[in-house]
Amino acid sequence: MVAIAIVRVRDLFAAGMLFAIYSLLSAALFTVLDAGDVALTEAAVGAGISTILVLAVLALARRFEHPTSGHNLLALTVVFITGAVLIYATLDLPEFGQPDNPAQVHVGPYYIENSYTDMGVPNMVAAVLASYRSIDTMGEAFVIFTAGLAVFALLSVRPRRREAGIVPRRPPRASDDDNEGESNDE
């Protein structure tokens, strides 16, 4: 429903806020699926930093989208074909939560049996995130850090606004000081 509302709304500020809500709902879904690290990254990057970037862009752009005169059939065709292929790909996945899934049969038992002997960390979750998946966790930290730097860089530049009909005054030149009695207004 949120995705449909994003497509239908013409107020770009409202669309940006709906994107933030969609990201928070995605983070909640990842939390329910016990993917805490992915949920944290989605909440930080998707809902936090992306929302700040959208608001920064909206400070420079128009708030309302101009309505279009028709539908782009090529874009709709590509979206429907891509959606059909993705749905078809899900038919090949194993049933969710079944005990004979590959993650339950191969990876999970190895972590349970060997995490303490391999890593020396008594907490199995910390051992998996800090050791077995350390490159992935470091990559997520770099993504969040880089996104934070990008937001800081974008927000530190002051935007220039031009008002219609107002011509900026030029700074006085050294030759203007010689003509003190003449008016510099044009």
Q: What is the 3-state secondary structure (H, E, C) of 103-120?
A: HHHHHHHHHHHHHHHHHC
Q: How far apart are CA 130 and CA 119, in angstroms?
A: 9
Cα dihedral: 49, 54, 58, 59 (round 10): 10
Cα dihedral: 133, 139, 141, 146 (round 10): 180
| pLDDT tens for each residue of 2-50 | 888 888 888 888 888 999 999 999 999 999 988 877 888 888 888 888 8
Q: What is residue 82's predicted lDDT score, i.e. its pLDDT?
A: 96
Q: Where are the alpha helices (DSSP H) in 10-166?
A: 12-32, 36-41, 50-58, 73-90, 102, 108-119, 124-127, 134-155
| pLDDT tens for each residue of 149-173 | 877 887 777 766 655 555 555 555 6
Report yes or no: 105 and 94 within 8 Å, Cβ to Cβ. Answer: no
Q: What is residue 85's predicted lDDT score, i.e. its pLDDT?
A: 96
Domain extents for the chain? 1-67, 98-142
Query: Cα-flanking dihedrals φ and ψ of residue 31, to 5°?
Result: -65, -45
Q: What is residue 26's predicted lDDT score, i.e. its pLDDT?
A: 92
Q: Grade residue 186 by pLDDT with cuts at 50, 70 and 90.
A: very low
| pLDDT tens for each residue of 97-126 | 788 887 778 887 888 888 888 888 888 888
Residue 90: is it exposed, middle or buried by C-beta count within 10 angstroms (0-12/13-18/19+)? exposed
Structure tokens at 61: 């752009």
155: three-class secondary structure by DSSP: helix
143 vs 178 pLDDT, higher one: 143
Q: What is residue 81's predicted lDDT score, i.e. its pLDDT?
A: 96
- In single-letter form, the type of residue at position 28 comes to A
| pLDDT tens for each residue of 51-67 | 888 888 888 777 777 76
Q: How far apart are CA 134 and CA 4, in angstroms?
A: 37
pTM over 0.75: no
| pLDDT tens for each residue of 70-90 | 677 888 899 999 999 999 999
161: three-class secondary structure by DSSP: coil
Structure tokens at 31: 């939390």
